[in-house]
Structure 1
Amino acid sequence: MKNILSLLLSFILIDVVYAQTHFTIQQSTGCNTLQLNIQNNHPSNNFSPNPFLTTGFSYQWNFGNGQTSTLENPTANYSQPGTYTIHYDCTIDTVGFYLTGILVTQVNCNDPFGGAQDPYIIIKDVNDNTVFTTESNYINDQNPPYSWGFNIQLNNPPYFLWVWDYDSMDGNDNCVDDSENQPGVATVITLPANNSSTFGNTTLHYVNGGLIFDAYFYKPVTTYHDSATVTVYQSPNAPIISPNNLSYCLGEQAQNITATGNTNSIIRWYTDSLLTNVFAVGNSISPNTSQEGVFSYYVVQTDNITGCESNPSIAQYSVSRLASPIIQQNNITVCTGQVLQPIVAQGTYPLFWYADQNLTTLVNQGDTLYLQEQLPGTYQYYIVQKDTTRGCISTPTILTVNYIQGIEIQSTVNHVSCFGGNNGSIEVTITQGTAPFTHFWLHGPTELNLQNLEANEYVLTVMDQNQCLRMFSIFVNQPDSIHVEASITNVSCYGNADGAIELNVTGGTLPYNYQWNNGSTNHSINQLQANTYTITITDQHQCTKLQTYNIQQPDSLVTLAIINKETCNGKNDGSIVLRTWGGTPPYSLLWSNQKTDTLISNLHLGQYQVTITDNHNCSKVENIQLESIYDFCLDIPNVFTPNADGINDTWEIKFIEMYNNPTVIVFDNSGKKLYENTGVYEPWDGTLNGKKLPMGSYFYIIDLKLSDKEPFSGTLDIIY
């Protein structure tokens, strides 16, 4: 048992190789970015694995930048500067499985000789070919466990295992079901899973009836490991160019152009964008201004340590002759007297206008020349642009101006006499120009002289034989309209004659005449009643202005007295409320009793006078008569009903409280005194000594004790 296990372990080996020659990279350094095409030195050569036996070639790459790959020959991309380690693992599985041993721990076969089995094994392939047997070298007279060691490559699965007892009673016995001299029951040897978990040694356990055994498998694989380091350097920045994009005059002494880079870099100047033609090496160059054109240099710096090169900076300058100024027309003709249009020149630098070709007489500076009126003749102007900083000047542009005699006229104007009139006129004579002439008025007429004109601007256009064209504005004027401003004073109080109208007249032509419809010829009138007044104003040219004004007055004061009569003579409970409208509020009141309110009360019958005054001191006097309802203040009922119903239960004598110490006496038909009260009257309840008197008629005497009044007497009825 120990020997067979040692034999089995001798096959448990996996070839693992560590080296640095298992892949090849074309370079190990780069600048800014780096793309590596990696050559794998263990190619698969298109090996096709058996799906049950081998997995073939597998690769695992880790590029150190967070990226991995399983390709045979991958590409690694580095986008950031830094140092990176490439790790490489290669596993080669091309052989398949080996069966290296069988360990039987239980059998189901009986041996009557000696009580122990004599086992041997037979292994066959799918075609019933015996690939291994120990029949000629069986184990003699031994009980399990049994072990056999060998090295069988399993390249044509499936495979079948028989375990037999060699010398039973009459032949071989199958140790699965103890059958004799029969094909017996074979055990299918199932292969381990075809993946990385079964690389090297694998043990599978089998149970088939009474047979229990372990099978030992070995899968040989080779693994390679390797690594390499790559470094991506930071490229230097593009050089800084100063000065740059300058423009030079042809032949101008130019300052050097300098490129500034790192201290450990070399500056190169190229004439092409492909960086193939080196113009200069160093930090500066001197521009060549001997010929016109735009010149560009592509400037890079190369790090002396890393060898990394920057992106190019473009140094550019231009050399040119200053362009001549541009004007729309170089030769123009101007008629004297016409409106002169400004001449505009275009240029890049300040513009200068000279009157001579030697450029000594400066007449204007700037882009616009405003022509001045000149005598007929030919005049020339020389226009240049100057870069005064560098002393550059362009070739002059020549402007020729031909002045010829233009058109002149004389005009006589008769202005409109009155505002809004149409009696103006214009007479025109053409005094200068070359006949024949054509003319027209802007508003339409074709006659040269105009009549019946309103005040306005009239534009005459005249053109002569030389195409001189001139427009003349002739104004026909008119006096201002007669304008009247009035200050009106209305009548202060209804019916008064203190109104006034004061006028301030402007416009027209002085002096003015005034005529009012009331016959006045003054410009202002006064002492007017409320009415409508009309004035006609006439100026020196008989222009008239008619104005109408209204003098107003307030409404007359109107009052309404609301009278509450005195109840009876002497009661003094009368009142008057006065309502007022018209005039000009607010109003003030003064009564004959010196009261000033709209309501006066506690009045006795009689006449009351009130004076009403409004805000303009207009006043009105009203006399108001206050009467009493009763001539005398005593109301004596002739019946009452003392039946305790709360209505008319006592004999109430109205106004008796007005009198001092009155006496009231009641008698029956026999003259018997039933009730007497002197002083403050206590109404009688129709009883005598607390007892009700019978219904009937009774007699009363009321003495008010007035010197001018006799006692009152009469009958009084009690009703139930």
Structure 2
Amino acid sequence: MKPTGNRSFSISVDKVSFLPSNNHFYEFVSGSGPAPKFGLDWGVANDLANAKKYYGLQGYLVTILSAEENQLAATQQSGTGWIGGSDIVEEGIWRWMSGPEKGIQFFYNLESTMTPGVYRSNPRGIGSTLNYVNWNRSSRNWYAGIPYYEPDNLYNIDNEDEDYAIIVENDGLGTKGSWNDINYYGESYKGSQQANGYIVEYGGMPGDPEIYIATSTSLIIPQITETSTDSRCGTGTLTLGATSNLGTINWYETENGGTAIATGTSFTTPEITKTTTYYVETKYPLCTKSATRTPIIATILNIPVITTPNSKFSLCGEGDITLTASVSEGTIYWYSEPTGSSLIGIGNSLTRFLSTNTTFYIEAVNKNCTTGARLPVEVVVYDLPKFQDQNIVKCKDEKITIAGSLYGVKYLWSTNETTPTIEINTPGTYTVAVTRPAPESCILTETITVIEHPAPKIKEVLIEENTISIQLETPADYFEFSIDGINFQRSNVFPKYTSGLQTATVRDTKNCSIDSQTFITIIMPKFFTPNNDTFNDFWEVKGLENYPEATVTLFDRYGKLITILNPSNTTWDGTFNGADLPASDYWYVLKLDSESPEIRGHFSLKR
């Protein structure tokens, strides 16, 4: 193993240790107390330390103010030794009780209790200090109340408070040189933590003489004390740095052997394409061996490369679209603008709802290395043609040709046919997927519903005073009606304008099927003008001849019987017993047969 760092050595006339930084001396003294149950108690150790002299320097229980002093004091002991710290004056407040630091507080470890103004030592708290302390904190479970997380100030098995500091020996219960708190008399049940001696410090007391019986020296071992690495994005040169405590710094490409490629505190690499490790060592002419070489890494960060299926996407009509991109390494960032902080997404995909043409921008970052200028990703939103699904009516057993309303370059029907039109002979729902021409290339699906209407069936023809209505077994809005066989209408109601035998006809609008039924109408004229002009000279009941039992009885306005008409006599000339009756309203009663009800009405005689 090669030594590193600087080493200091103290030289004294005997086994007492010397600390050059403060010119103090240290000595471990072993001893035991008067009773076999205990080790040496703290008070006896304090008195014995105060009674000791070293070349005129006053002794006292050691007060430890630094890690350097603690290391020197701890390495001198061959057992467990008292030091000068205690919280006997005030629980949880540790002070030095000896030497020139007597009375100085060096650690605080109190917690409040449920009783106002009452405090106790906190066995689980870290405590606070502005001074050097080295309490034993070796337990991994101190927070559960399991030793050792010192000072715990807990009562021992003899119900004795632990108010005095001791340096423990390394026996698995703590790190050698760490501090613990035990009771005044020492504790035999703690094994190696039982006090079997004390550590005396000489120097710093008032009236101490100046003595020159010890000295110190240092060895400086050449070593690299600090390094600085460098990194860059992509191929290029980098500048590395190193400092040493002594000698010349040499740079190498290998960990061992080889020839130095540069000398000095900095080194600029040649152009490199990948991460490379270089090595430095310091060389001093008076030292035959060099220190272990220190690695310094020149890091080449890869510039990410973005790959996309294409830089232009299309969307058939408004809707959601997912854009994708991939990167060789690193993370992709999506923006709405070519520059600035308009970040809208992170990752390999971005989903947005669009209704118009839109351009997004992407860049990738790999450990602060970027692709540079943002790459545009364009989305073209195509306007789709407006269309409605079709409904087509066909006749039963009729074969028809159907076609979509859209033009395209490819067609795919639900029947798996690929022609623009297809022939069908059964009703049902048919779809056709139409592929539009490039660059749009959108696929639109149209639905064509083919229907067969059931044949109409007349239920009855209702003849009322002024109207005729054709009633169907199953009415529907796709039927049309006629009572002359020529003129058809969508309404099933007709005005009663002629008498006689007639035919009611119903068909569907596609004229696939038809039904008809004959009926007879009788029209009672509203007026007549018996003035011998050969026009409306008679009041005539047309159609009466179709009802052999029919009678029409006429009355004047006072109820006087004028005449009776029948199928063989269907007209009245406006006279009574050969004399002209005056212009007035006259009344009739129509009886078609014995089973039918009477129909009453009136008409006018005009002269």
The TM-score range, normalised by the shorter chain, is: under 0.3
The TM-score normalised by the length of structure 1 is: 0.24
Larger radius of gyration: 1
Q: Which has the higher contact order (CA 8 A, sep 6+)?
A: 2
The TM-score normalised by the length of structure 2 is: 0.27
* Larger proportion of strand: 1
